[in-house]
A = this chain, B = another copy of it.
């Protein structure tokens, strides 16, 4: 299924779309059929007995049993209906999004939300059925735990954003940054972080992502814009954070359910760490500026590390999540979390989404979308059925900040290591504390071991406060 996905986004012609959707639906149904086979209970019982006293084997059995328990609650017909409704809704979104045509998306999305609600009801024992969807991406997370955490974050970000207002990044002069040199730079930055190119692949896709087909085959993509060198660099740092995580999991766990992160929040902690805590330092731009000078002799004329750095910092409320700065970004997630909890619980109707979205954007960021294209229709996640996914982005930011605080102490200053070109010490520390464990621990345990602290907004708030001060002193 991962390969069907990778190929769809990196190689498949558009005329393959319908058949590919059917192939993915078929495989989803086959996976479901394997997971619900009655004889699996006996296998799991036997393995549970064998695993007594062996925490690795016991965790493996527990994770498999959890997957099976979720699968047995869903009829195969619903699995297929969901897969097909998602494909149809994504197709409707691809068609309707460019012109912001909410009326064309509303019907397919309402149908999909109804199916996702049926899925959540089937999976859930609790009153808050949304938690069952959240569990698919962030096992152990609950609406009751996230709501006050996100409210705390939103409350403390609001005055910071007011303080930082109008500190926009200083764009680079308009130049041509050739495609092939950008791909070479992408390759080099990935290697610099510690990605092993002999055990993986780098490709291009419209929406960058990373994936793994096994311990020896980890892949990620970037997107090249010849008018802008920065986006590719930050994208590579982000995706290679995911990809080095996959390459760093203990080979003992190959071909088992343990060969994965315990949650998407844990995975995202690595991508956000490299993108924001490494890519957000002046030392990083000083490190790569000479290579950029060699790769882009014309475009880099008169441009130095300071210019590159200044092009990346700034705080300003904006409508589009993927373009948001690091400080305002999390409020985009808070908005989506509130709305999807409401959608799945039935408190919010799909018909009312645009109005509620726009009103909450005004509350949280002080700006109002002019079209659904810049509002409720901007992301493909909901049309793709990924309700419960968005919160993992902010959880990733929270864990990344905790890890950066820990590593800053452990390594005698992250910036000093970057300035010394010693990214391998940083990757080594992440491997030891996070990657190698795979899914052996739950995310909360893993991060408690790795950072000595439980989940809190404090490290992220402290980090973003520094960002705001930097933006003010640079551009204020």
Interface residues of A (CB under 8 A from B): 3-4, 6-7, 11-20, 22-23, 30, 34, 198-201, 203, 213-217, 254-255
Contact = CB atoms under 8 A, between A and B. Distances in A.
A199 B11 contact: no
Contacts of A203: 11
12 contacts: A3-B7, A7-B7, A11-B203, A12-B217, A13-B200, A13-B201, A14-B198, A15-B217, A19-B214, A19-B254, A20-B213, A20-B217
Contacts of A15: 198-199, 216-217
A257 to B, nearest CB: 15
Given A3-B7, A7-B3, A19 B216 contact: yes
B213 A23 contact: yes
Nearest to A11: B201
A contact face: mostly helix, strand, loop, or mixed: helix
Contact of A19 (B4, B6, B20, B215): B215
Contacts of A216: 13, 15-19
A28 to B, nearest CB: 13
Contacts of A214: 16, 19-20, 23
Contacts of A20: 213-214, 217
A130 to B, nearest CB: 33
A7 B7 CA distance: 8
A17 B30 CA distance: 24
Nearest to A214: B19
A213 B7 CA distance: 11
Contacts of A215: 19
Contacts of A255: 19, 22
Nearest to A197: B13
Given A11-B203, A13-B199, A30-B30, 7 more contacts: A13-B200, A14-B198, A16-B214, A19-B213, A19-B215, A19-B255, A23-B213
Q: Which 10 A-B pairs have the closest CB atoms?
A: A19-B214, A16-B217, A15-B216, A15-B199, A16-B216, A13-B199, A11-B201, A13-B217, A3-B3, A3-B7
Among A11, A23, A216, A217, the most chain B Cβ lie within 10 Å of the Cβ of A217
A22 B217 CA distance: 13
B13 A198 contact: yes
A154 to B, nearest CB: 43
A254 B16 CA distance: 12
Nearest to A10: B11
Contacts of A201: 11-13
Contacts of A16: 199, 213-214, 216-217
A22 B255 CA distance: 9
